[in-house]
Amino acid sequence: MVGTPSVGEAALMQSVLLPAGRGRCFWQPEQQEELRTRDFLFPVRPQRCLKMVRYSLDPENPTKSCKARGSNLRVHFKNTRETAQAIKGMHIRKANKYLRDVVVKRQCVPFRRYNGGVGRCAQAKQFDWTQGRWPKKSAEFLLHMLKNAESNAELKGLDVDSLVIEHIQVNKAPKM
């Protein structure tokens, strides 16, 4: 019987112990019988067979879009969120130039949501805002992400100059 387990088999799967150092997904009952006869070192929760990476938004036309992703990056969440919102909707070349300007303090990032204690700067006037900063590390991380997205687009055969940042999302990393 191959496929998704029924209710009785799912309860059986939760009690299956996997050998040390082998993290595999077993859905076939005959392989579970084989597992019961082996010597086991420690219990392991059953693993689910899922896709490798999950994105929060799937593009409408995957052939004409590219994606990039970073996980558990050592960068401040609030600064990165504000920087990401500043480049949302920009062409990729314009976003690259903007982030390079942020690193050398030629343009600021307007802080709209997480703006407690953020000072005012004249460069924020171009965004019709008063508060802004120059989060260097966040800008550098986003530059690397844009570079990764560019190379993914080239690999797919897309025109890099016509790419627009349609969706960008920043989540908090888990606390250690």
Q: With 90 as the cut, is the pLDDT of residue 176 above it?
A: no
Please give the average per-residue pLDDT across 3-30, as a whole number: 42
Which residues 6+ apart lie within 8 Å of 152 measured at CB?
66, 67, 68
Question: Where is mean pLDDT largest: 5-19, 52-66, 157-171?
Answer: 157-171
Instruction: Work out whether the CA dihedral 162, 101, 121, 118 comes out positive or negative.
Output: positive
Convert the pLDDT of each residue in 38-92 to its tens digit: 555 545 455 555 556 677 888 888 899 999 999 999 999 999 999 999 999 999 9
The count of other CB atoms within 10 Å of the CB of residue 173 is 13
- For residue 109, give the H/E element and its range: strand 109-110
Tokens of 147: 């570079």
HSE of 42, CA atoms in CB hemisphere, 13 A: 6
pLDDT score of 47: 52
Q: With 60 as the cut, is the pLDDT of residue 28 above it?
A: no
Region for 89 from its dihedrals, namely left if φ exceeds 0, alpha if ψ lies in -120 to 50, beta otherwise: left
- For residue 133, give the H/E element and its range: strand 132-133
Q: Which domains does the chain have, with CATH numbers?
A: 1-50 (no CATH), 62-162 (3.90.470.10)
Convert the pLDDT of each residue in 101-157 to its tens digit: 999 999 999 999 999 999 999 999 999 999 999 999 999 999 999 999 999 999 999
